[in-house]
Chain A
């Protein structure tokens, strides 16, 4: 009886941690439900009851007394972790790893953050800005200055996000910086068109994850989490827009 209870506890703990990691790093709700159900099923639980929202998860197994809750406090975008949880879940399903191992690896994954090196992220921010400016506006002469402005704008976003941790404020400040730099660079004769430079440079800040997840959640019938993500995307877009609009007032 006691060992059975311990086993149930471990199943709940593993499934809840997996679910929390996935939501924290930007997964859609349907995938979280699916993964947690699979974990419980593969670990030998007869039934599982789930309630997943983007601010918290509730789960019970075997219809017993004592559902457990796991709050989701922070939200970032780190799609690699989702992929790793997915891999671990697949390995567990074919009995390559035990439940205890699975749980330990999740705990380890939760603590470690393995991003790409900083210079590569800065470079890729530049490589999002410049090429998209050319694709959208066909303005080749402004390619280089757009790369530079985009990278600097993303740098502001990154640093502020690290220290004040309010995503919307960082986006606002980054957008304002991009606006100022774009106007300034045209003033100094480094670029030709303020519009094109701003359009390109803002692209790394686009809230792609919330937009996509919002649509997919709503389609899956999840009418609480889908609109919540949509609001997140909308506030981000509005923050960027206000940042640009504020600068353009002084044009």
Chain B
């Protein structure tokens, strides 16, 4: 991946995450953090895929990072966590695979469509499981945090 491509992807993810945030009407103060969390989540996914970790693990780790970073942002800004993790999730949505699935079902090529269907299910499951893991990290951290004070 060249530097130009990297910069384009950073800008694209940042702008797209903020755009989705505006569509959901999240408060202005939260937009910047949400944007950067979206960028970080996508690049965790991207680098794991580049280093050969596979797209399922990539999506899962991306979701974990989004969950953990959103809780930190929520704590700093004193705002609900969903303001950050919902827009940040958008770059991970398997839009391409879902579209290919619909297309091949519509064209009647069911065997190709099932390949994409399985990918969509795997990715959605990985993201859900990633959120589960991030919740685990958050709860352990909260315990430790409370214990220390």
Q: Report A's interface with B, CB cutoff 8 A.
A: 26-28, 31, 77-80, 82-83, 86-87, 90, 115-116, 120-121, 123-128, 131-132, 134-138, 140, 154, 195, 198-199, 202-204, 206, 208-209, 211-213, 215-216, 219, 237, 241, 244-246, 248-249
Contact = CB atoms under 8 A, between A and B. Distances in A.
A83 B131 contact: no
B12 A128 contact: no
Contact of B20 (A124, A136, A199, A215): A124
Contacts of B79: 83, 86
A27 B95 contact: no
Q: Size class of B's contact patch? A: 35 or more
Given A134-B9, A219-B135, 9 more contacts: A82-B80, A83-B83, A127-B15, A132-B16, A134-B12, A135-B9, A138-B5, A154-B23, A203-B16
A77 B25 contact: yes
B82 A212 contact: yes
Most buried by A among B89, B106, B135: B106
A128 B131 contact: no
B63 to A, nearest CB: 9
10 contacts: A26-B24, A115-B25, A127-B18, A127-B19, A128-B23, A135-B42, A140-B8, A154-B23, A208-B93, A249-B106
B114 interface: no
Interface residues of A: mostly helix, strand, loop or mixed? helix
Interface residues of B: mostly helix, strand, loop or mixed? helix
A208 B132 CA distance: 17
B96 interface: yes
A89 B68 CA distance: 24
Interface in B29-76: 30, 42
A35 to B, nearest CB: 9
B99 A211 contact: no
